[in-house]
Amino acid sequence: MMSRQAFLCSLGSLYLSLLFIFLLMDVYARPANNSALKEKPADSKDENEILPPDHLNGVKMEMDGHLNKEFHQEVFLGKEMEEFEEDSEPRKNRKKLMVIFSKVDVNNDKKISAKEMQRWIMEKTDEHFQEAVEENKMHFRAVDPDGNGHVSWDEYKIKFLASKGFNEKEVAEKIKNNEELKIDEETQEVLDNLKDRWYQADNPPPDLLLNEEEFLSFLHPEHSRGMLKFMVKEIIRDLDQDGDKKLTLSEFISLPVGTVENQQAQDIDDDWVKDRRKEFEEVIDANHDGIVTMEELEEYMDPMNEYNALNEAKQMIAVADENQNHHLELEEILKYSEYFTGSKLMDYARNVHEEF
């Protein structure tokens, strides 16, 4: 009869054997790497540092043509937007909102006019601009390895592919020797679009090298009038169905949201179409002729357009102006806090006067 010690030794040997078999199975079961240049999954943080963002703070539309749902909060809160989290204490958020109200109300008459709101919107938009400039300095250093103050397309391409998981040294070597890169179709399409954008950001005289200011235009086209035009062309290209380089209402609202599978999804799609229809008819189509031209879309997209800022101020006031005096009182902003901050404050009027 086998002793207890011998049994345990036998059991341990069996366990190690099975573990070894499972490890071998795991190795051989893994899919082969189709690209010899791939080394690891892309680090999203690194990729975001060099890939132009789809979302531009303080701009009403995304790069892909979707409306910026957080626009009102971005131009009302600026850098303080992150402080208004859904799980924050309502009382603290109420106090923060009171402080912001006092800053917007420059003449201290306890109400905010359209002109005061316009000034505030322009100030917060400029704040986003300055934030983008500071971030660009860091991102530019990341893609300028030799520190000569200029970045070539090949230098950027190497860093971009490295952020996508390709082996940076191998990519650099292949580009240097004019060897073919094995890149999947999706990544190649992104590269082609980025190259077009790179050329547009290259100010005269064109040298295919971007300095820090040009690189800022590449990442943030809202900083450059020329790049703003290019961004508008891209959006119209994606939405324009008949090729006339203009947008009708039907073209603007036909951007697919997704497959509708249930009533809840249908409601989301309906709300999406409703929002886009309203924005098209009331804001973008300036002359209300049912057609949006490149010029109209460019004016709409320009975050530093003072006329747009005034119109936005009037719209924001109209949302919460319950007494119809064309101004905003503190109680009205607190009551409609979700619109201005994304945070819904409960008991908004409680202790307002003693706190403020």
pLDDT of residue 236: 93
Q: Name the domain count of the chain.
A: 1
The residue range of the domain holding 82 is 70-150+211-354
In a domain, 350, yes or no: yes
Helix (H, G, I), strand (E, B) or coil at 292: strand
Q: What's the distance, Cα to Cα, between the start and end of the chain in Å? A: 87
Render each residue's pLDDT in the chain as its tens digit; 356 residues: 445 444 444 544 544 444 443 433 443 333 333 344 544 443 444 445 578 888 889 999 988 888 998 999 999 998 888 887 665 678 888 889 999 999 999 999 999 999 999 999 999 999 999 999 999 999 999 888 788 999 999 999 999 999 889 999 999 999 999 999 989 999 999 999 999 999 999 988 888 899 999 999 999 998 888 899 998 998 999 899 999 999 999 999 985 544 445 555 556 578 888 999 999 999 999 999 999 999 999 999 999 899 989 999 999 999 999 999 999 999 999 999 989 988 777 554 454 444 44
Q: Is residue 297, in this structure, part of any structural domain at all?
A: yes
**Residue 275 resides in a domain:** yes
Name 326's Cβ contacts closer than 8 Å, sequence gap at least 6: 113, 114, 317
Contact 75, 68 (CB under 8 A): no
* Burial call 268-283: b when 16+ CB within 10 Å, e when fewer: eeeebeeebeebbeee
Integer Cα distance of 229 and 240 in angstroms: 16
Contact between residue 163 and residue 47 where contact means Cβ atoms under 8 Å apart? yes
Domain assignment present for 42: no
Does residue 158 fall inside a structural domain? Answer: no
pLDDT of residue 342: 84
CA 150 to chain centre: 26
DSSP 123-147: HHHHHHHHHHHHHHHHHHHHH-TT-
The answer to whether residue 338 is domain-embedded is yes
**3-state class (DSSP) for residue 215:** helix
Residue 230 covered by a domain: yes
Q: Is residue 32 part of a domain?
A: no
